[in-house]
C-alpha cells in the first residue's frame, strides 16, 4: 500500500496507526456484537466511515482516489480464470 500510494514517511506513520486502531476496533465490534448481526453491520459501517475520514485527512486527493480504487478491487471477488472452475462437478 505504501509503495502504491507513494506515501511519505509522515503519511506512512499516521496511516499505520489509523490501520492499527481500525483493526483493533473491528475485532472489538466482531466480539461485542456476535449475537446481533444488524448492530454489528451498522457499527462496522460507522467504523469504515470514520476510517475513510481519517484517510482523507492524511492522504492527498490523488492518493485518496488511488486508495479507494484499491479498496474496491479488494472488496469485489474476482471471477475464476477458467469458466469450469469454482462449480460443482
Q: What is the pLDDT of residues 43-67, one digit of tens each?
A: 999 999 999 999 999 999 999 899 8
Kindly give the residue spans of alpha helices, DSSP state H, lying in the chain.
2-5, 9-32, 37-58, 61-75
Query: Three cell numbers at 31?
Result: 466480539
pTM of the model: 0.74
pLDDT at 72 over 90: no
Condensed to tens digits (0 to 9), the pLDDT of residues 13-47 reads 999 999 999 999 999 999 999 999 999 999 999 99
Residue 63 near residue 6, CB atoms below 8 Å: yes
pLDDT at 74 over 90: no
pLDDT of residue 86: 56
Residue 69 near residue 62, CB atoms below 8 Å: no
Unique residue bearing C-alpha cell 476496533: 25
By CB neighbour count within 10 A (0-12 exposed, 13-18 middle, 19+ buried), where does 66 fall? middle
Domain ranges of the chain: 2-71
Amino acid at each position: 500500500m505504501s509503495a502504491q500510494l507513494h506515501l511519505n514517511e509522515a503519511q506512512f506513520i499516521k496511516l499505520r496507526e489509523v490501520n492499527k486502531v481500525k483493526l483493533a476496533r473491528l475485532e472489538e465490534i466482531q466480539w461485542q456484537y456476535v449475537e446481533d448481526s444488524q448492530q454489528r453491520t451498522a457499527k462496522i459501517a460507522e467504523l469504515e466511515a470514520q476510517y475513510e475520514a481519517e484517510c482523507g485527512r492524511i492522504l492527498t486527493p490523488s492518493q485518496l482516489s488511488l486508495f479507494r480504487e484499491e479498496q474496491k478491487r479488494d472488496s469485489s471477488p474476482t471471477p475464476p480464470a477458467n469458466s469450469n472452475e469454482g462449480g460443482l462437478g
